[in-house]
Structure 1
Amino acid sequence: MQRPVFCALLVTLSLSVPSLAASTPEQRGRAYAKTHCARCHAIGRTGESAFKPAPPFRTLHLRYPIETLGEALAEGIVTGHPAMPQFELTPPEINDLLSYLKSLE
């Protein structure tokens, strides 16, 4: 592919597809939380959790130092209530979600 055509293709793709590379870890963490956690947890600065046993994200720092949650997110969180699914995040997802949680403190 010729260089001008390749560059034009990259520009077109960058304008038509939201670029994760251009977003901040906090923004990506919020997007992850919205997609994977908001069904049960309140993920914003206000509001109640849809599932009462699920703590609002803005209060997690009152229960746990946010920095210590990375290992649990990597290994799969197992919680005291059976409704929460067990899941594992990739290192970039962990960084992004922790960045978002820190922004809520």
Structure 2
Amino acid sequence: MRRISILSLLLVAACAPVAPPRPASAAPPVALASSPVERGKALVEARCSACHAVGTSGDSPVSPAPPFRTLGQRYPVANLQEAFAEGISTGHPKMPEIVLEAQQVNDLIAYLESLQPAAKKN
């Protein structure tokens, strides 16, 4: 009987799901990123970068999609917080509706603000 119990235990252990090790160079999961700016960056890289330029340089992969670093030229970035909280939807069919949780909105705004060029001093 003891032999069957040990064999059963080994079989269960062998079949238990094991997460593959994460490479040391891999970015931490969004929830574990240490700052709002880092979490916002991870969010936009995952959800927005297919269409928008989300960094400090480069063109958007989809030409009508504005680079995120230029949003401050069109709107005060902080004013976008309410729009993101309510869900962004646009009139063109290719842009998906964007729905974010409150913390994601805060992280997104922090990242967008970090991208905007510093105000020019006179």
Please report how far the alpha carbon of residue 73 of structure 1 lies from its aligned counterpart in structure 2 after TM superposition.
0.7
Residue number among 93, 100, 103 corresponding to 2:111 in the alignment: 100
* Structure 2 partner of 1:56: 67
1:37-66: CA deviation from partner (whole Å, max 9, x where unpaired): 000000000000000110000000111111
Instruction: Provide the alpha-carbon RMSD of the alignment.
Output: 1.9
Which structure's residues are more often helix, by fraction? Answer: 1
Q: How does 1:16-55 map to 2 (within 5 A)?
A: 18=28, 20-21=31-32, 23-55=34-66
Q: Identify if the C-alpha distance between structure 1 residues 22 and 36 changes in structure 2 by more than 3 Å, giving closer, same or farther.
A: closer
Would you identify which runs of 4 or more consecutive aligned residues in structure 1 move more than 4 Å?
Answer: none
Larger radius of gyration: 2
Aligned residue-pair number: 90
- Checking the alignment, whether the CA contact within 8 Å between 2:33 and 2:39 is kept in structure 1 is no
Gaps (5+ residues) in structure 2?
1-26, 117-122
- Checking the alignment, whether the CA contact within 8 Å between 1:66 and 1:98 is kept in structure 2 is yes
Q: How does 1:67-82 map to 2 (within 5 A)?
A: 67-82=78-93
- TM-score, structure 2 normalization: 0.68
Residue identity over aligned pairs, in percent, reads 52
- TM-score, structure 1 normalization: 0.78
Please report how far the alpha carbon of residue 22 of structure 1 lies from its aligned counterpart in structure 2 after TM superposition.
5.3
Q: Which amino acid counterpart does residue 86 of structure 1 have in structure 2?
A: E
Gaps (5+ residues) in structure 1?
1-16
Please report how far the alpha carbon of residue 102 of structure 1 lies from its aligned counterpart in structure 2 after TM superposition.
0.2
